[in-house]
C-alpha cells in the first residue's frame, strides 16, 4: 500500500511537471493560432502557401521551425492555416516541422539522449516532410479536403482584421483574447486526461514492459533487419500509450534507449507524437474522423522509413550512439527550477491573464467566432468526466506527495 501511495504521489508530481514544462509552448502556439485567425486573410494565405510547391512547403516548414514544439498548439495553428486557405501539404509540413524541427526539442534530445539523435531528429524530420508530400500526392484526397474546408469555413466565421488595427482598436485585442480562450476550450480536456495518463504510466509501468514490446532488446549483438523493422513499427504503438507531447516523450525515449531499444525504435517513437489518440481526437474535432485518420495514416506510413534510414546511417558511418549516454527519466521534483521554463511560464501566464481580463470586460459583447465540436455528445461528456476525475487524482496525489514524500 505504501508503494502504491508513493507511486501515486510521484505520478501526480510528474504530470504537474509535464504541464509546467509545456505551458509556455501551449500559450505561444495558441497566440500564433489566434493571430492567424484574426489578422490573416484567406487571399494572403492562398498566395503564400496555398499550393503544394517547393516554395510553399519550404516556407511552411520554416514557419514550423520558428513555431512551438507543443503538439496540441501546433494542431490548432495547422487548423487555422487550413481554414485560411493553405494547401494540405504545406499545412502538414508546418505541423511536422513544428513538432520535429524546433530548436528547443533538439536541446531536450541532446540533454536526455545524445547529439546523434539531434542529427537524426532534424534529418529525419526533413525526410518525413518529403515522404508526407509524396504520399499525399499519390493518394490525392481532393474530395476529403473539400469536405474539410466546408467544415472549417463554418467554424471560422467572421471577417479578418488588418494588422495595423492591432494598435488602434481595443475591440481587436478583445477578439484576439476570445479566440485565444476558445483555443484552450477545445483541448483542455484532452490535455488534462493525456498528461495525467502519462504521469501514471511513468510512475506505475516498469521500463521492462516497454522493452518487452520491442523485439531484439536485451540480446547480445545488433538486431536483425526484421527486428529493426519491427521496432520501427512498434515505436508508434508504444508512443500511443505514453503520449505527453513531442518534448515530454523524450525522457521516456531515453528510458527505452537505456534498456536496449534500437535507434530505429527510438526515432519512430519520437516521430509518433502526431498519431496518438489525443491528437487523433483533436484533429477529429477539427476536421472529422475521416480526415483525422487519413492524416494519421499518412504520418505513420511516412515515419517508418526515416527511422530505419537513420538507424543504418549511423551504423554505416560508425556514429551509432551509445545507450550508456541515456539518462532516463528525471526525478519528478527535478522538473521545477529557476530556468528558462520558469521565466517563459511567467511571461505567458501574464499574457493569459491579460487576455482573460480583456475577455471578462468584453463578456457582454458579441463578435468573434465560436467553435462547437459536439460539446453535448456522449464522447465529450465522457471526456469531461475523465478530465474532472484527473483533476481529483492530481489534487489527491499532490497532497500525498506532501505527506509521504518521494524518492
Residue extents of the structural domains in the chain: 2-404
* C-alpha angle 393-395-396 in degrees, rounded to nearest 5: 65
More confident residue, 357 or 364: 357
> Picking from 177-186, 298-307, 327-336, which range would have the lowest pLDDT averaged per residue?
327-336
Does the pLDDT value for residue 118 go beyond 60?
Answer: yes
The percentage of residues in the chain with a pLDDT greater than 70, rounded to a whole number, is: 81
Work out the average pLDDT over 300-328: 85
pLDDT at position 367 is 45
Q: How confident is the model at residue 109 (pLDDT cuts 50, 70, 90)?
A: confident
Percent of the chain at pLDDT exceeding 90: 27
**Rounded Cα–Cα distance for residues 19 and 42 (Å):** 34
Mean pLDDT of 151-168: 56
**237-272 pLDDT per residue, tens:** 888 776 555 656 777 788 788 778 899 999 999 998
Q: What is the pLDDT of residue 374?
A: 43
Name the pTM for this structure.
0.70
Q: How far apart are CA 38 and CA 377, in angstroms?
A: 28
**Given a cut of 70, is residue 333 above it in pLDDT?**
no
Tell me which of 292-296, 301-305, 402-406 is least confident. 402-406
Task: Kindly tell me the burial class for residue 207, based on how many C-beta atoms sit within 10 Å of its own C-beta (0-12, 13-18, 19 or more).
Answer: middle
pLDDT score at 369? 45
C-alpha to C-alpha distance for 109 and 249, rounded to whole angstroms:
10
- Mean pLDDT check: name the lowest of 70-74, 372-376, 401-405: 372-376
- Decide which of 187 and 201 is more confident: 201
Q: Kindly state the cell numbers that stand for 311.
A: 538507424
The whole-number pLDDT of residue 393 equals: 94
User: Does 376 have pLDDT greater than 80?
Assistant: no
Position 247 scores a pLDDT of: 59
Query: How far is the C-alpha of 241 from the C-alpha of 395, rounded, in Å?
Result: 23
- 103 vs 28, more confident: 28
Contact 295, 161 (CB under 8 A): no
Reduced 3-state DSSP string for 306-366: HHHHHHHHHHHHCCCCCHHHCCCCCCHHHHCCCCHHHHHHHHHHHHHHHHHHHHHHCCCCC
Give pLDDT, residue 41. 62
Average pLDDT of the residues in 137-144: 88
The segment with the largest mean pLDDT, out of 110-119, 142-151, 178-187, 224-233, is 224-233
**Nearest-10 crossing angle of helices 289-317, 225-240:** 140
CA distance 354 to 258: 44
The reported pLDDT for the residue numbered 101 is 86
Name, in order, each residue with C-beta under 8 angstroms of 406's C-beta and a sequence gap of 6 or more: 6, 9, 10, 13, 331, 332, 333
Residue 151 pLDDT more than 90?
Answer: no
Mean pLDDT of the chain: 80
Q: Has residue 218 got a pLDDT over 80? A: no
Q: State residue 370's pLDDT score.
A: 46
CA 87, CA 57: separation in Å to the nearest integer? Answer: 9
- In this prediction, residue 150 carries a pLDDT of 81
pLDDT tens digits, residue range 17-70? 878 877 887 788 778 777 876 776 656 666 777 777 888 899 889 888 876 656
Higher pLDDT, 377 or 184: 184
C-alpha dihedral (106, 331, 323, 256), degrees to nearest 10: -90
The more confidently predicted of residues 241 and 372 is 241
Residue 191 has pLDDT above 80, yes or no: no
Residue 157, pLDDT score: 46
Amino acid at each position: 500500500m505504501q508503494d502504491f501511495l508513493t507511486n501515486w504521489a510521484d505520478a501526480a508530481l510528474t504530470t504537474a511537471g509535464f504541464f509546467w514544462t509545456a505551458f509556455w509552448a501551449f500559450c505561444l502556439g495558441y497566440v500564433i493560432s489566434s493571430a492567424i485567425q484574426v489578422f490573416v486573410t484567406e487571399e494572403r494565405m492562398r498566395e503564400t502557401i496555398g499550393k503544394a510547391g517547393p516554395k510553399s512547403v519550404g516556407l511552411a516548414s520554416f514557419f514550423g521551425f520558428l513555431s512551438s514544439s507543443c503538439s496540441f498548439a501546433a494542431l490548432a495553428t495547422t487548423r487555422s492555416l487550413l481554414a485560411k486557405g493553405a494547401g494540405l501539404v504545406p499545412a502538414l509540413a508546418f505541423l511536422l516541422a513544428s513538432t520535429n524541427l524546433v530548436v528547443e526539442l533538439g536541446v531536450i534530445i541532446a540533454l536526455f539522449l545524445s547529439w546523434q539523435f539531434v542529427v537524426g531528429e532534424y534529418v529525419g524530420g526533413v525526410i518525413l516532410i518529403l515522404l508526407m508530400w509524396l504520399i499525399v500526392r499519390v493518394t490525392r484526397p481532393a474530395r476529403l479536403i473539400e469536405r474539410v474546408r466546408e467544415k472549417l469555413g463554418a467554424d471560422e466565421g467572421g471577417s479578418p482584421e488588418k494588422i495595423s488595427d492591432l494598435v488602434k482598436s481595443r475591440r481587436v485585442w478583445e477578439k484576439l483574447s476570445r479566440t485565444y480562450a476558445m483555443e484552450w476550450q477545445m483541448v483542455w480536456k484532452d490535455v488534462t486526461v493525456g498528461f495525467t495518463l502519462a504521469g501514471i504510466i511513468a510512475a506505475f509501468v516498469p521500463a521492462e514492459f516497454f522493452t518487452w514490446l520491442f523485439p531484439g532488446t536485451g540480446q547480445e549483438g545488433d538486431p536483425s533487419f526484421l527486428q529493426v523493422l519491427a521496432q520501427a513499427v512498434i515505436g508508434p504503438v508504444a508512443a500511443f500509450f505514453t503520449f505527453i507531447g513531442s518534448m515530454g516523450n523524450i525522457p521516456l525515449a531515453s528510458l527505452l534507449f537505456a534498456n536496449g531499444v534500437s535507434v530505429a525504435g527510438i526515432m519512430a517513437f519520437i516521430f509518433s507524437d502526431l498519431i496518438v489518440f489525443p491528437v487523433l481526437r483533436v484533429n477529429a474535432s477539427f476536421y472529422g474522423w475521416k480526415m483525422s485518420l487519413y492524416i494519421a495514416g499518412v504520418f505513420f506510413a511516412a515515419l517508418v522509413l526515416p527511422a530505419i534510414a537513420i538507424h543504418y546511417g549511423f551504423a554505416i558511418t560508425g556514429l551509432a550512439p551509445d545507450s550508456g549516454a541515456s539518462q532516463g527519466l528525471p526525478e519528478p521534483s527535478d522538473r521545477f527550477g529557476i530556468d528558462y521554463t520558469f521565466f517563459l511560464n511567467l511571461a505567458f501566464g501574464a499574457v493569459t491573464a491579460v487576455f482573460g481580463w480583456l475577455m471578462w470586460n468584453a463578456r457582454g459583447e458579441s463578435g468573434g467566432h465560436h467553435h462547437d465540436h459536439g460539446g453535448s455528445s456522449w464522447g465529450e461528456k465522457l471526456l469531461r468526466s475523465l478530465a474532472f476525475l484527473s483533476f481529483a487524482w492530481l489534487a489527491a496525489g499532490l497532497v500525498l506527495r506532501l505527506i509521504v514524500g518521494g524518492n
